[in-house]
Amino acid sequence: MNKKKSIIAASAGNHAQGVALTAKLLGIDATIVMPETAPQAKQQATKGYGAKVILKGKNFNETRLYMEELAKENGMTIVHPYDDKFVMAGQGTIGLEILDDIGM
């Protein structure tokens, strides 16, 4: 991933929180676009990690399209929840990394 000033993602919850926390740890601004129906607990957790949360869209497709529009307008790097080879690679190795970290 090219390091830009800020990142953006579309998610209703878990991906949002992961992106928000990672951005916080790396000192990068994060914007998360969530569907208007996103659970309040997920919104608060994402905000708690320092991300800006925008509620937009009645479904994920509307949310994703708005996220892509914002990214283009503002030169943000998109961290896609599933259509990104680096995200998929990370999801594919996380279990092995956890086992390695705990010495198994």
Q: What tens digit of pLDDT does each residue of 49-86 get? A: 999 999 999 999 999 999 999 999 999 999 977 666 77
Confirm whether 14 is domain-assigned.
yes
Beta bridge partners of 32: 9, 53
Confirm whether 74 is domain-assigned.
yes
* HSE-up of residue 95 (Cα within 13 Å, Cβ side): 2
Confirm whether 42 is domain-assigned.
yes
Q: What tens digit of pLDDT does each residue of 13-37 get? A: 889 999 999 999 999 999 999 999 9
Tell me the C-alpha distance between 10 and 20, whole Å.
Answer: 11
pTM (predicted TM-score): 0.81
Question: Which residue range forms the structural domain that includes residue 21?
Answer: 6-101
The Cα-based distances of 56 to 37, 62, 84, 98 in angstroms read 9, 7, 22, 34
Domain count, the chain: 1
Confirm whether 1 is domain-assigned.
no
